[in-house]
Structure 1
Amino acid sequence: MFTSGRVIAVICSTLFLTSSFSFSAVARIRGLGELPGGDFGSYVSGISGDGSTVGGRSYSASGFEAFRWTAGSGIVGLGDFEGGDFRSRAFATSFDGSVVIGRGYSANGQEAFRWTEAEGMVALGDLPGGSYSSGASDISPDGLTIIGRSFSANGNESYRWTEAQGMVGLFLDKLARHSPEM
């Protein structure tokens, strides 16, 4: 279950059927639907702070696909990167829902993304030195800062991404392993 304070998003499963719903004091219960062409099923991963937007994944004709849902547009597939398995997933949104973050699969492998209506799905890359893999896990309310994990020369490492600096490793995991016990 995910909540914004005014809206709750849940996943309901009954005997092989899974679908996502949102609840609000005004609109009551509302099914979010599924993407066209795929099996029945959608999964919520996050809800915007203002309750207007839900992100997640659903089956589409191409495979598992990240989606963004609003009351005005309904459920809209966000696509995936060229050359990889089609298995994108949205994890979180900015406060107003205008920016969605998640993970897709490119020819390089698993890759974090940032999505906006103006730019579509944009790859965030990965940290240098390790196997190619990144995923975005959360986003600031204004949509300008993203955090996640990627493989680097230090191993599986947390990062912070901004448009100005790109993906910057935080070295927190390495520091934590070598810090004296408190």
Structure 2
Amino acid sequence: MFFPHSPDHQRRNGAMRLMRGAEILSGLLGLSIVLGVGTCAQAQSLTLLGKLPGHSVSEAYDVSDDGRVVVGWSGTGTTALAFRWTSSGGMQNLGTLTGFGWSKAYGVSADGRVIVGVSTNANGQRRACLWLPSFNNPAIYFAYDLGTLGGAESEAWAVSADGSVIVGVSTNTSGRRRACLWKYSIRGFNDETGQPAVRVDLRLDLGTLAGYTDASEARGVSADGGVVVGFSSLSTRSRACRWIIRNNAVQRVDDLGTLGGDSSVAYDISDDGGTVVGGAADSSGWLHAFIHQGSMRVLGSSSTVAYAVAEYGEVIVGTAVPGRQSRALRWTSGGQEDLNATYASLLPQGSLLRDAHGISRNGRYIVGSIGPDSATGGIDQAFLLDTARCSTHRGDINRDGCVDDNDLLIVLFNFGRSGTGLGREDVNCDGNVDDADLLIVLFNFGQY
């Protein structure tokens, strides 16, 4: 007899998975020879997302896993409207809670269906807003007011990977701004319009950090909604903090520290909750992008801030403000890079990638705003950058939650390909789809 979680059981399970994978592999090898191997490679591209009719500017804030859905806002000098852009349909006006006023979209779920942000209500007050698609027509969206903690206003900044947990800020009954977490459920839908019937099940006040009790705000959330990051403030000072959520309650609040200065702000967190990024002041008052993995350390040069991080913390994007012109940045294991230099060949004449606000979970797609170079003019709108970048993973190539024969097939059908534009079939990201990638899939076969 052996216990379910004993080392002996784990070894037997691993051996069984490997044997099962080997059986499937032997059967699929012949099939791959018959069907042949694909040779098409993916190319880098920069897509300008445009603006809504009558608007002069647009800005993108988040992107779905596959890069096919981007959210943000389009506007003029006096108003703005949330948009949803798709690769097939272009830019769509998401509207507002009441049909008038303004709105902005800041976050989107991994599959691109759930969108969150802010919209004015009938009284002109800011309200955290949820947009959901019609059950009858996924291109039609409906807006929902998520409510407040008893005050007048709220704003949603981010949503978990599956779209079930939303975080942001709300005023309470005393008018204080507090980090807030919302959960909701769909209780049915209208047969004629397909509009979901939404009920807000939880509005959770996340509280503040000890010693920083004036206000707090949540800006990012882990994939499962269990870890939230943002900041807590007192007067003009702020501290990046992390809330651990268990059973719909705050288990603890962690002070993430600073870089020697008096303020820091956390903007995003990796899927697993292990990597936090943001901006913090050093002892001389200079702002630096930071990364927190157990402790806070400098990520970027002075006058930089990190806004978003990919799945496992391996790719981070943000902005540098060297003088009057901001520039979009990316950080990897190779260090800091200016996206304008890396992707110079893709840029329109006289334009600069100004801000990088969001990144897909696999680190491939980056969104933000592109603007004119002050010396030569240019354009001013949202962008989607496809870096055609590979990201290492554990073998779940089609991202269905399980390493199985479907993933083996993908590797086999692409076996022998090489280059810099490979997709998830290059599991270890060495530029080749080979036996090393097959081994990773086989060793993790059957895992969820």
TM category (shorter chain) comes to 0.7 to 0.9
CA distance in 1, matches of 2:77, 2:218: 31
Moved more, 159-168 or 46-55: 159-168
Q: Does 1:18 align with 2:80?
A: yes
Look up the match of 1:78.
146
| Residues 107 and 132 (structure 1), Cα distance of their counterparts in 2 relative to 1, 3 Å cut | farther
Q: Which amino acid aligns with 2:70?
A: I
Maintained 8 Å contact 2:222/2:228: yes
Quote the residue 2:232 is aligned against. Answer: 150
Contact 1:78–1:120 under 8 Å retained in 2:
no
Deviation at 1:106, TM superposition (A): 0.7
1:126 aligns with 208
Paired residue type of 1:76: Y
Aligned residue runs from structure 1 range 10-159, under 5 A: 10-14=72-76, 16-36=78-98, 39-62=100-123, 63-72=125-134, 74-82=142-150, 84=151, 86-108=152-174, 109-117=176-184, 119-151=201-233, 155-159=237-241
CA distance in structure 1 between the aligned counterparts of 2:233 and 2:105, rounded to whole angstroms: 26
Q: Which runs of 5+ in 2 are unaligned?
A: 1-59, 135-140, 186-200, 262-281, 284-296, 299-448
Matching residue's letter, 2:63: T
Measured in 1, the distance between the counterparts of 2:111 and 2:93 equals 19
Query: CA, structure 1 residues 172+8, in 2 after alignment: closer, same or farther (shift >3 Å)?
Result: same
Q: Secondary structure at the match of 2:260?
A: helix
* Amino acid of the structure 2 residue aligned with 1:69: W
Contact in 1 for aligned 2:242/2:256 (Cα 8 Å)? no
Give the equivalent residue in structure 1 for 2:260: 177
Counterpart amino acid of 2:251? Answer: G
Higher helix share: 2
TM-score normalised to structure 2 length: 0.36
Equivalent-residue separation in structure 1 for 2:79 and 2:211 (angstroms): 42
Indicate the structure (1 or 2) with the bigger Cα radius of gyration: 2
In structure 1, list runs of 5 or more residues that go unmatched: none
Letter of the aligned partner of 2:149 in structure 1?
Answer: F
Offset, 1:44? 1.0
Bigger mean CA offset, 101-110 vs 163-172: 163-172
Report the Cα offset of residue 143 of structure 1: 1.1
Q: Distance in 1 between matches of 2:107 and 2:167?
A: 10
Instruction: Compute the displacement of 1:137 (Å).
Output: 0.7
Query: What's the Cα RMSD here?
Result: 2.6
**CA separation of 1:125 and 1:79: change in aligned 2, threshold 3 A:** same
- Aligned-residue offset at 1:41: 1.3
Letter in 1 for 2:153: R
Give the strand-richer structure, 1 or 2: 1
Compute the TM-score of the two structures, normalised by the length of structure 1.
0.83
Deviates more, 1:69-78 or 1:133-142: 69-78
Letter in 1 for 2:242: R
CA contact (8 A) 2:209 2:254 kept: yes
Aligned length: 175
> Equivalents in 2 of 1:133, 1:99: separation in Å?
21
Q: 1:112 to 1:167 in 2, by over 3 A?
A: farther
Q: Is the 8 A contact 2:127 2:147 kept in 1?
A: yes
Q: Look up the equivalent residue of 1:74 and give its one-letter code.
A: F
Cα deviation code 1:132-155 (max 9, x no counterpart): 311001000111110111137xx5
